[in-house]
Copies of this chain bind each other. A is one copy, B any other.
Protein backbone atom coordinates (compact mmCIF):
# COMPACT_ATOMS: atom_id res chain seq x y z
CA UNK A 1 0.00 0.00 0.00
CA UNK A 2 1.61 3.15 1.05
CA UNK A 3 1.48 4.68 -2.39
CA UNK A 4 1.37 8.16 -1.00
CA UNK A 5 2.35 9.91 -4.18
CA UNK A 6 1.38 13.53 -4.41
CA UNK A 7 2.34 15.43 -1.37
CA UNK A 8 0.51 18.54 -2.38
CA UNK A 9 3.17 21.11 -1.76
CA UNK A 10 3.30 23.53 1.10
CA UNK A 11 1.15 23.77 4.14
CA UNK A 12 -0.60 26.84 2.79
CA UNK A 13 -1.54 25.03 -0.37
CA UNK A 14 -2.94 22.19 1.65
CA UNK A 15 -4.97 24.59 3.72
CA UNK A 16 -6.42 26.27 0.69
CA UNK A 17 -7.15 22.96 -0.92
CA UNK A 18 -9.11 22.02 2.16
CA UNK A 19 -10.91 25.33 2.26
CA UNK A 20 -12.03 24.87 -1.31
CA UNK A 21 -13.12 21.35 -0.58
CA UNK A 22 -15.03 22.64 2.43
CA UNK A 23 -16.78 25.19 0.25
CA UNK A 24 -17.79 22.50 -2.17
CA UNK A 25 -19.20 20.44 0.62
CA UNK A 26 -21.01 23.35 2.22
CA UNK A 27 -22.53 24.24 -1.12
CA UNK A 28 -23.70 20.69 -1.52
CA UNK A 29 -24.90 19.77 1.93
CA UNK A 30 -25.24 23.04 3.77
CA UNK A 31 -23.22 24.30 6.69
CA UNK A 32 -24.70 22.24 9.50
CA UNK A 33 -24.71 18.99 7.56
CA UNK A 34 -21.14 19.33 6.38
CA UNK A 35 -18.95 16.62 7.86
CA UNK A 36 -15.24 16.74 8.08
CA UNK A 37 -15.15 13.30 6.50
CA UNK A 38 -16.75 14.81 3.40
CA UNK A 39 -14.22 17.57 3.26
CA UNK A 40 -11.39 15.12 3.73
CA UNK A 41 -12.69 12.87 1.00
CA UNK A 42 -13.11 15.72 -1.43
CA UNK A 43 -9.64 16.94 -0.62
CA UNK A 44 -8.30 13.44 -1.08
CA UNK A 45 -7.03 13.02 2.44
CA UNK A 46 -8.09 11.72 5.80
CA UNK A 47 -10.33 13.38 8.39
CA UNK A 48 -7.47 13.40 10.83
CA UNK A 49 -5.44 15.65 8.61
CA UNK A 50 -8.26 18.12 8.34
CA UNK A 51 -8.32 18.35 12.10
CA UNK A 52 -4.58 18.65 12.05
CA UNK A 53 -4.83 21.84 10.02
CA UNK A 54 -8.01 23.23 11.55
CA UNK A 55 -8.42 22.49 15.19
CA UNK A 56 -12.18 22.07 15.00
CA UNK A 57 -14.91 21.63 12.49
CA UNK A 58 -16.35 25.05 13.17
CA UNK A 59 -13.01 26.67 12.62
CA UNK A 60 -12.72 24.96 9.27
CA UNK A 61 -16.15 25.96 8.11
CA UNK A 62 -15.93 29.49 9.39
CA UNK A 63 -12.60 30.00 7.74
CA UNK A 64 -13.94 28.53 4.53
CA UNK A 65 -16.75 31.03 4.49
CA UNK A 66 -14.42 33.90 5.20
CA UNK A 67 -12.16 32.67 2.44
CA UNK A 68 -15.04 32.54 -0.01
CA UNK A 69 -16.33 35.96 0.85
CA UNK A 70 -12.92 37.51 0.59
CA UNK A 71 -12.20 35.92 -2.76
CA UNK A 72 -15.54 37.03 -4.08
CA UNK A 73 -15.06 40.55 -2.82
CA UNK A 74 -11.56 40.94 -4.09
CA UNK A 75 -12.37 39.57 -7.52
CA UNK A 76 -15.13 42.14 -7.70
CA UNK A 77 -12.81 44.90 -6.58
CA UNK A 78 -10.35 44.01 -9.26
CA UNK A 79 -13.04 44.15 -11.89
CA UNK A 80 -14.34 47.41 -10.52
CA UNK A 81 -10.95 49.04 -10.64
CA UNK A 82 -11.05 48.90 -14.41
CA UNK A 83 -14.31 50.76 -14.64
CA UNK A 84 -14.06 54.52 -14.92
CA UNK A 85 -17.51 55.87 -14.08
CA UNK A 86 -19.24 55.65 -10.74
CA UNK A 87 -22.40 54.42 -12.38
CA UNK A 88 -20.44 51.69 -14.10
CA UNK A 89 -18.89 50.67 -10.83
CA UNK A 90 -22.26 50.58 -9.22
CA UNK A 91 -23.42 48.36 -12.03
CA UNK A 92 -20.58 45.99 -11.24
CA UNK A 93 -21.64 45.92 -7.61
CA UNK A 94 -25.15 45.03 -8.56
CA UNK A 95 -23.86 42.40 -10.94
CA UNK A 96 -21.76 40.90 -8.17
CA UNK A 97 -24.87 40.47 -6.11
CA UNK A 98 -27.25 39.38 -8.82
CA UNK A 99 -25.46 37.63 -11.63
CA UNK A 100 -23.77 34.32 -10.98
CA UNK A 101 -20.05 34.19 -11.42
CA UNK A 102 -18.91 31.90 -14.14
CA UNK A 103 -16.37 30.06 -12.03
CA UNK A 104 -18.46 28.46 -9.35
CA UNK A 105 -21.86 26.88 -9.66
CA UNK A 106 -24.90 29.06 -10.22
CA UNK A 107 -26.66 29.52 -6.93
CA UNK A 108 -24.02 28.19 -4.60
CA UNK A 109 -22.65 31.49 -3.40
CA UNK A 110 -26.05 32.81 -2.40
CA UNK A 111 -26.88 29.64 -0.61
CA UNK A 112 -23.67 30.21 1.26
CA UNK A 113 -24.97 33.59 2.36
CA UNK A 114 -28.10 32.05 3.70
CA UNK A 115 -26.07 29.56 5.68
CA UNK A 116 -23.85 32.36 6.86
CA UNK A 117 -26.77 34.37 8.12
CA UNK A 118 -28.42 31.45 9.83
CA UNK A 119 -25.19 30.54 11.57
CA UNK A 120 -24.48 34.12 12.50
CA UNK A 121 -27.61 34.24 14.62
CA UNK A 122 -26.10 31.98 17.23
CA UNK A 123 -22.39 31.78 16.56
CA UNK A 124 -20.62 34.99 17.54
CA UNK A 125 -17.56 34.12 15.50
CA UNK A 126 -19.59 33.76 12.34
CA UNK A 127 -21.55 36.84 13.29
CA UNK A 128 -18.32 38.78 13.40
CA UNK A 129 -17.35 37.66 9.92
CA UNK A 130 -20.70 38.62 8.52
CA UNK A 131 -20.77 41.94 10.30
CA UNK A 132 -17.38 43.01 9.02
CA UNK A 133 -18.24 41.87 5.58
CA UNK A 134 -21.48 43.81 5.53
CA UNK A 135 -19.82 46.88 6.90
CA UNK A 136 -17.20 46.78 4.21
CA UNK A 137 -19.87 46.28 1.60
CA UNK A 138 -21.96 49.23 2.72
CA UNK A 139 -18.87 51.35 3.06
CA UNK A 140 -18.00 50.53 -0.50
CA UNK A 141 -21.39 51.60 -1.77
CA UNK A 142 -21.31 54.69 0.35
CA UNK A 143 -17.96 55.92 -0.85
CA UNK A 144 -18.92 55.09 -4.38
CA UNK A 145 -21.96 57.32 -4.09
CA UNK A 146 -19.90 60.13 -2.65
CA UNK A 147 -17.41 59.83 -5.47
CA UNK A 148 -20.20 59.83 -8.00
CA UNK A 149 -21.71 62.89 -6.47
CA UNK A 150 -18.44 64.73 -6.59
CA UNK A 151 -18.14 63.82 -10.25
CA UNK A 152 -21.62 65.08 -10.87
CA UNK A 153 -22.82 61.68 -11.97
CA UNK A 154 -25.17 61.26 -9.05
CA UNK A 155 -27.71 63.58 -7.54
CA UNK A 156 -27.87 64.61 -3.91
CA UNK A 157 -28.90 61.67 -1.79
CA UNK A 158 -27.78 60.73 1.68
CA UNK A 159 -25.04 58.22 0.88
CA UNK A 160 -25.40 56.31 4.11
CA UNK A 161 -29.14 55.89 3.77
CA UNK A 162 -28.69 54.85 0.19
CA UNK A 163 -26.06 52.30 1.12
CA UNK A 164 -28.32 50.75 3.71
CA UNK A 165 -31.25 50.63 1.31
CA UNK A 166 -29.25 49.35 -1.60
CA UNK A 167 -27.48 46.64 0.30
CA UNK A 168 -30.70 45.51 1.94
CA UNK A 169 -32.39 45.40 -1.43
CA UNK A 170 -29.58 43.37 -2.92
CA UNK A 171 -29.66 40.99 0.02
CA UNK A 172 -33.38 40.53 -0.30
CA UNK A 173 -33.16 39.87 -4.00
CA UNK A 174 -30.28 37.50 -3.42
CA UNK A 175 -32.56 35.44 -1.22
CA UNK A 176 -35.05 35.07 -4.03
CA UNK A 177 -32.31 34.16 -6.48
CA UNK A 178 -30.74 31.68 -4.11
CA UNK A 179 -34.06 29.96 -3.64
CA UNK A 180 -34.88 30.04 -7.33
CA UNK A 181 -38.07 31.96 -6.79
CA UNK A 182 -39.92 31.99 -10.11
CA UNK A 183 -40.98 35.58 -9.54
CA UNK A 184 -37.44 36.93 -9.41
CA UNK A 185 -34.69 35.47 -11.50
CA UNK A 186 -31.20 36.88 -11.69
CA UNK A 187 -31.66 39.19 -14.65
CA UNK A 188 -34.91 40.56 -13.29
CA UNK A 189 -33.24 41.30 -9.99
CA UNK A 190 -30.41 42.94 -11.84
CA UNK A 191 -32.68 45.23 -13.80
CA UNK A 192 -34.85 46.14 -10.85
CA UNK A 193 -31.80 46.94 -8.78
CA UNK A 194 -30.32 49.14 -11.45
CA UNK A 195 -33.57 50.94 -12.01
CA UNK A 196 -33.85 51.54 -8.33
CA UNK A 197 -30.31 52.85 -8.11
CA UNK A 198 -30.74 55.02 -11.17
CA UNK A 199 -33.93 56.47 -9.80
CA UNK A 200 -32.50 57.20 -6.40
CA UNK A 201 -29.20 58.59 -7.62
CA UNK A 202 -30.61 60.36 -10.61
CA UNK A 203 -28.80 58.87 -13.53
CA UNK A 204 -30.28 57.18 -16.53
CA UNK A 205 -29.87 53.51 -17.14
CA UNK A 206 -31.18 51.22 -19.79
CA UNK A 207 -30.84 47.46 -19.68
CA UNK A 208 -28.47 45.80 -22.12
CA UNK A 209 -30.69 44.41 -24.77
CA UNK A 210 -29.71 40.82 -25.46
CA UNK A 211 -26.50 39.05 -24.48
CA UNK A 212 -26.55 38.36 -20.78
CA UNK A 213 -22.84 38.69 -20.25
CA UNK A 214 -21.28 40.64 -17.48
CA UNK A 215 -21.74 44.37 -17.76
CA UNK A 216 -19.14 46.41 -19.52
CA UNK A 217 -17.35 49.49 -18.48
CA UNK A 218 -19.53 52.25 -19.88
CA UNK A 219 -22.73 53.26 -18.19
CA UNK A 220 -24.68 56.18 -16.90
CA UNK A 221 -24.96 59.53 -18.53
CA UNK A 222 -24.52 62.42 -16.25
CA UNK A 223 -28.02 63.41 -15.39
CA UNK A 224 -28.31 64.95 -12.00
CA UNK A 225 -31.18 65.85 -9.78
CA UNK A 226 -34.31 63.88 -9.16
Contact = CB atoms under 8 A, between A and B. Distances in A.
Interface stretch (A26-34, A40-48, A206-214, A217-225): A26-34
Given A169-B172, A176-B168, A192-B161, A131 B181 contact: yes
Contact of A120 (B122, B179, B189): B179
Interface of A: 29-33, 111, 114-115, 117-118, 120-122, 127, 130-131, 134-135, 138, 161, 164-165, 167-173, 175-176, 178-179, 181, 183-184, 188-189, 192, 196
28 contacts: A29-B122, A30-B121, A30-B122, A31-B118, A32-B32, A33-B122, A111-B121, A114-B114, A114-B118, A114-B121, A117-B117, A117-B178, A117-B179, A131-B181, A134-B176, A134-B181, A135-B183, A138-B183, A164-B188, A164-B192, A165-B196, A168-B176, A168-B184, A169-B169, A169-B172, A171-B175, A172-B173, A172-B175
Nearest to A172: B168
Given A115-B118, A170-B172, A173-B168, A179 B33 contact: no
Contacts of A165: 169, 192, 196
Q: Is the interface of A mostly helix, strand, loop or mixed?
A: helix
A164 to B, nearest CB: 6
Contacts of A115: 118, 121
